[in-house]
Amino acid sequence: MYSILKYLKEMLIVGLPAVLVFACFWPYRRKALSAMGLRTNHWREVGLHLFILCLFGVLGVTLCPVYWIEDSPGLWGDITLLVERPSLWYGVNLVPFRMFRDYWLDLTQRDGFFTILNFLGNLAVFVPLGLFPALLFRGASWRRSTLVGLATSVLVEVGQYFLARSTDIDDVILNTLGAMCGFWLWLVLARLVPRFTQRFQVEVQEHGRDARDPSPAPGAGAGQL
């Protein structure tokens, strides 16, 4: 529980400033939507801001540089922000599913609690990155949600290499699977509570009146955002 609360706190530290910056573009976004005959609503605005919060929160936590305090004769010690990498491939795994084999060994030969926690955590943090693109933008498709998760995960793993953190292709696979789970969650919601999911869509202005844009069939091809 402490680790989860710590992770959420770190997400908020990075995500909230990003949300504030995004909110500054509200007049421009409203004008652009109006020019296309569309308008937003409170539900969609809340969803958009949560999406920005999750996206930049994940980037902020995963791309935080590794540092520690080293002992020295000085009063405060030496703070090393970037650790020198012993070799070019140190901390890098480009062999798919190696981590999953380690997970299996931990589950069968050890307690496995932290293995399960790490597995579910890597999935859960990317679920919003697959859910919100399907929920907020018309023409929802699993390809779009998967691409958002894949691109974000690749950016994180490449960035972590230059920050002296581990880079693992299995993290990319697991994160992308998490984004796909987010799309499947939207698919279930769209089937069970379609009126709720439609609230997060833009509204079409017709003859001076607002008509809610009908939600496309789940899994339909991409349309106008």
Question: Could you give the CA distance from residue 176 to residue 101 in angstroms, rounded to a whole number?
Answer: 18
Encode pLDDT of 179-206 as tens digits.
999 999 999 999 999 999 999 999 887 6
Q: What percent of the chain has pLDDT over 90?
A: 48
* 125 three-state secondary structure: coil
Strands 203-206 and 167-168: unpaired
Structure confidence at residue 83 as a pLDDT band (50, 70, 90): low
Encode pLDDT of 17-71 as tens digits.
999 999 999 999 999 999 999 999 999 999 999 999 999 999 988 887 665 544 4
Q: Which residues have CB under 8 Å from 92's CB, separation 6+?
A: 161, 166, 167, 168
Q: To the nearest whole number, what is the mean pLDDT of the chain?
A: 81
What value does the mean pLDDT take over residues 127-154? 94
> Which run of H or E residues covers position 167?
strand 167-168
Max Cα distance, the chain (Å): 76
Which pLDDT value is given to residue 205?
A: 77
> pTM, whole model, 2 decimals?
0.78
Question: Could you give the CA distance from residue 17 to residue 164 in angstroms, rounded to a whole number?
Answer: 25
